Amino acid sequence: VTGHGFVRFEVEMSAADTIFALSSGPGRAAIAVLRLSGPATAGVVAGLAGDLPPPRSFALRSLCDPTSGELLDQAIVVWLPAPRSFTGEDCAELHLHGSLAVLSSIMEVLGRQAGVRPADPGEFTLRAFTHGKMDLVEVEGLADLLDARTAVQRQQAFRQLSGMASRMFEDWRTQLLMIRADIEAVVDFVDEPGVAAEAGPGIDTRIRALQHSMEEALSYSAVAEVIRDGVRVVLAGCPNTGKSSLLNHLARRDAAIVSDLPGTTRDAIEVSMDINGIPVTLTDTAGLRQEVSDKVEEEGVRRSRRLMSEADIVIWVWSADVAGSEL
């Protein structure tokens, strides 16, 4: 058996499993949503709830251990048969009371069923991609949406998740295929009267228009990357120039200790901010000077220089009261 054959075997076996995972946040809550996907979903849910509700309808059911008959919870059950589901497989949702005891008991029962196992990280999305429910660009948009911290990040992720980027790429592909077809017609049928005259004109113009569209998209991609990843801003300067005071003022809270004593800030202090929809990580650093008081301050200065080298923006803070603090 080759290595490639082993990989294919593993994938086929994994796809044959029915998976389950907690879709809501972990910890104690009023409601916890547990999702299932795979070929055994209908039988597993029927074993817990007694019968399946109508497709895509919310139904109140008593969930019981199929082995002991013990009542585990009263929950809302949603049955989502293939192919009209997130993964394209038979799916179900159990809207449970969000106590740890309820969740652990339901998951323990699910884990005992043949061919049923906890989902690997991202496996629901992987199955949606495998069954053609999402393409790779939309998968990336979903990941960005789940990580979104600002309104602008959310809007950008939704554009990608909704297929806008995929439609643009597909339009480029279609245009390239049409241009290629016209170029091949001109080359292959050069002796045919009228073919070159009909297919040839406008090819250069169409290529330049497509190039312009791609260049515009690439120029926006730099902005999109900043929106997605955020900006790291480092406040740097000599001791006692007001870096910590500036950080506190921008953060609108006492995030850093402010003192007249030089070398008060020994380690980096980070504050996360939302500036016009752009996530910004603002970092206060130890003051830079040649003569340090001890090994701790020396390490703080070393870290300050490293953070400056990694930052997107370095703001040098100086004060007229501190001689030589200008950049």
pLDDT in tens, 157-210: 888 888 888 899 999 999 999 898 888 877 777 667 666 666 667 888 899 999
Give the pLDDT band (50/70/90) at residue 5: very low
Looking at residue 15, its pLDDT comes to: 62
Contacts of 301 (CB under 8 A, 6+ apart): 286, 287, 288, 289, 292
CA–CA distance, 98 with 106 (Å, rounded to integer): 11
Looking at residue 267, its pLDDT comes to: 74
Looking at residue 1, its pLDDT comes to: 33
Looking at residue 255, its pLDDT comes to: 72
Looking at residue 107, its pLDDT comes to: 95
pLDDT at 231 over 80: yes
pLDDT in tens, 66-105: 999 999 999 999 999 999 999 999 999 999 999 999 999 9
pLDDT in tens, 106-149: 999 999 999 999 999 999 999 999 999 998 889 989 988 888 88
Contacts of 6 (CB under 8 A, 6+ apart): none
Q: Are the beta carbons of 110 and 119 closer than 8 angstroms?
A: no
Predicted TM-score (pTM) of this structure: 0.67
Q: How many residues does the chain have?
A: 327
Which residue reads 């504050």 in tokens?
Answer: 271
For the chain, the C-alpha Rg in angstroms (whole number) is 30
Backbone angles phi, psi at 253, to 5 degrees: -160, 165
Q: How many CB atoms lie within 10 A of CB 124?
A: 21
Looking at residue 54, its pLDDT comes to: 94
pLDDT in tens, 154-169: 888 888 888 888 899 9
Give the pLDDT band (50/70/90) at residue 10: very low
For residue 19 the two structure tokens come to 């998976």
pLDDT in tens, 267-288: 788 898 888 888 899 999 888 8
CA–CA distance, 11 with 178 (Å, rounded to integer): 37
pLDDT at 7 over 90: no
Q: Which range, of 8-17, 42-51, 83-92, 186-195, averages the lowest pLDDT?
A: 8-17
Torsion of CA 24, 82, 41, 129, to 10 degrees: -60
Give the pLDDT band (50/70/90) at residue 266: low
CA–CA distance, 248 with 13 (Å, rounded to integer): 55
